[in-house]
Amino acid sequence: MNNNMILLKTLLLSTSGINKLRHCKDKKVKTKIVWGYIGMVFLYLMLAGYAFATVYGYGMIGVIDSAPGLCVLTLSLIAFLFTFFKTNGYLFAFKEYDMLMALPFEPKAVVGCKFLYMYLKNLPLYATVSVAVMIGYGMFEHPGVVTYVMWIILTAFIPLIPMVLASFVGFLIARLSSGFKHKTLVQTVITFIFALFCFSLRFIIEGIFRNDEVDNVLGSIADVTDRACEIYLPAGWFASAVNDLNISSALLLAGVSILIFEVVFILVGRSYRQINSRLKSHSAAKNFHMTKTKKRSVRSAVAYKEYRRLVGSTTYMVNGAMGEILAVILGILVLVIGFDKLIGVITNGAPIEPEMIFPAIPFVAYFLIGMVATTACSPSLEGKNYWIVQSLPIEKKVLYQGKMLFNMYLSVPFMEFAILCLCIAARVPLLTSLLYMITGFVLCAFSSAWGCVCGIKHMKLDWENEIEVIKQGTAVALYLFPNMIIDMALVVLVIFLGTKIDHNLLAAVLILIVAMLAMLSYRKVMRLAAVK
């Protein structure tokens, strides 16, 4: 086996849930792993169903030839975003860096192995979407067996180019930030800016397609997909290989993907040691002097520790504070363009009275801020240092109260700012605005407490990379998906109820319900703290 395969096999075995099921004797651990796989299967089935429904619509309107291009564009976008947000944690300044670099492997082999690990971990997701599209395509086109074989083989190459490009962008950000004194801060700011650009790309593309020169493109979704395939060549190669059985297009897609992988990671490997050394080093001030130590309560000290943990990790900062940044942008944007215009953009000009949206204002802000709670992953982030926490003369309930306090410090100001801006722009009455701000506060309290429940019940301490708990942890998934679905359902429900009953009465009832849920979650945290 070559060096890449040796490292990759070791990394996969050390993190494999199936491997743990085979050798672990703890029934609780096995149960968590099984339920994790069940949840993953459920998620994959949902994505497959959505992809199949989209392709079925293409077939019904007679543009099924555009389905392969749609498949590539969708998977490429997902692969690029997923990889971009994981690059910093997987490729740079990871915990086992010193151990790996001490082994007789070239830097290119190490970074290539970490990339292939990301690729294989996400390949089942990409394959699920691709196979669902293939089934829908086959229902209408009835192609031969060769088409199915080619589709399945080329699926392995579809995400490779966008993943390599995302990794290269992450490499450039790491290289740029490594020369600054406050490396993590600079890296976080650059990552935030690029992420916001990705989020706004939809509106940029929409603005381009509204130009007079391309008005006809909007007449057909298939034309838009075909135009995008002309710009992004790998999508065109895949469509040509599948629709026309063009072997040269298939070879071109596979060959260019492998070539880009080799070229990029040769470039990354040349300065890999230097970048990691700079990122892991710390600067010391020449004019350092002793100052008086601030006295804090135990809960405040724990909250401050959580703050230092957040700002010390780009991955944690981007994941934990992205919603807050988006809430600030939303608040400023709605004050500049107006509430009516913002609703028109979101609803694509649907005839909706702005007053109908008033009851949903707190839940719109919560959709940005409450989707990620630091308490969902902070218990697991203690990792292998958990024994230190265990040995401290601090009650567990005080420790978790400090973690929840920090999440309140982080989320409440941004929540209130977003709600206040939305209420001012929409000219919501003063009493109603006050009730909405109270609703936002109790939503943050519920988010902090419920996130802590998930974080304690599904604590994972044996991680090698913080991404495993910040982005891929069971606790985060169990907090995120039900919370997101319920919040979207509540937006629709409160808008409907707002047409039937008084808005102030509705807000008061919601405050009582959410406050009761927050209290129940808090009491659950205290009970878990007594046994964990």
pLDDT at residue number 95: 63
Give which of 131, 122, 121, 129 is closest to 153, Cα–Cα.
131
Give yes or no for a contact between 159 and 75, defined as CB atoms under 8 angstroms apart.
yes
Angle between helices 396-426 and 339-346 (to 10 degrees): 110
Q: Which residue has the tokens 């809430």?
A: 327
Q: In tens digits, what is the pLDDT along the chain, a chain of 532 residues?
A: 566 677 777 777 776 777 777 777 777 777 777 777 777 788 788 888 888 888 887 788 777 888 888 888 888 888 887 787 777 666 765 666 667 667 777 777 777 777 888 888 888 888 988 998 899 888 888 888 888 888 999 898 988 888 888 888 777 776 665 555 554 555 565 555 655 555 555 554 445 444 444 344 333 556 666 677 777 888 888 888 888 888 888 898 889 988 888 888 777 777 766 666 665 554 445 555 556 656 667 888 888 888 888 877 777 777 778 888 888 888 888 888 887 777 766 655 556 677 888 888 899 899 888 888 888 888 888 776 776 767 777 788 888 888 999 999 999 999 999 999 999 988 889 999 999 999 999 999 999 999 999 888 888 777 766 777 777 777 888 888 788 888 888 888 888 888 888 888 989 999 999 999 999 999 998 988 877 6
Q: How far is CA 249 from CA 40, 154, 195, in A?
A: 34, 10, 32
CA atoms in the 13 A half-sphere facing the CB of 518: 18
* Alpha helix (H) residue ranges in 244-385: 247-270, 272-280, 298-311, 314-337, 339-346, 354-357, 361-369, 378-381
